[in-house]
Amino acid sequence: MSHTHRHTHKERHFTFSETVRDVVLGMADGLTVPFALAAGLSAAHVASRVVVVAGVAEIAAGAIAMGLGGYLAARGEIDHYHSERSREFREIRDLQREEEREIVDIFKNYGLDRAACEPILAHFRKDHEAWVDFMMRFELGLDAPQPGRALRSALTIGGAYIVGGLVPLAPYMLIDQLKPALMVSIVCTGIALALFGTAKSRFTGVSPLRSAVQTVLIGGLASAAAFLLAHWIGG
């Protein structure tokens, strides 16, 4: 019973960590890229409606691109896992003595010798599925991918990008005048970046203040570069 409980907890933790990583990835780009685009267009003195149209188009394209990238990355991890698993089955079949030696080497790190490992080896000789599971986890450090991981990653990253992108764009949707909309967008995005950086610190180990400052600076530099470039080009 206790073994099942530990296994379930581990899988939930593993899935949660991947989801947090996807949210951070999508939200980080979602807050900065549309913000930089809107700031750049504001410097070019276009109408608020143009900023909204361009911003919505960018958010849609960015969410699709980021989601597709997340899907392909997750699919790559899944394919790699199954490829390695097939290779382990072949090695157990064709190179059994070498694979047994690898098991003994693993357990040596825990103070067990060949004699102590013999019952384990005897069990694995009868159950190749369990043997491969053991080698995948303790030799290669690979965990079994969760069902639906690729699609879930794509939707999480894309959704986080959309949510993040709407923060700097919303003021342009609600305010017709360009300069007031830009000011409100700067304030809203700055607050969102600070909150995002603070929340991210819980999972990165960085202090909340440092993470918030870093996140705001990155977003600010990106938007400032776009604003100055557009202002320079526009004369």
The domain locations on the chain are: 21-233
Average pLDDT on 135-158 reads 84
| Per-residue pLDDT at 158 | 94
pLDDT tens-digit readout, 22-59 = 888 888 888 888 888 888 888 777 888 889 999 999 99
Spatial CA neighbour of 79 closest among 153, 7, 139, 149: 149
Q: For 4-18, 112-126, 158-172, 208-222, which range has the lowest pLDDT when averaged over its residues?
A: 4-18
For residues 80 and 22, give the distance between their C-alpha atoms in angstroms, rounded to a whole number: 19
pTM above 0.75, yes or no: no
* Tokens 């693993």 belong to residue: 106
Q: How confident is residue 231, by pLDDT bands cut at 50, 70 and 90?
A: low
What residues contact 143, with CB distance under 8 A and at least 6 apart? 14, 137
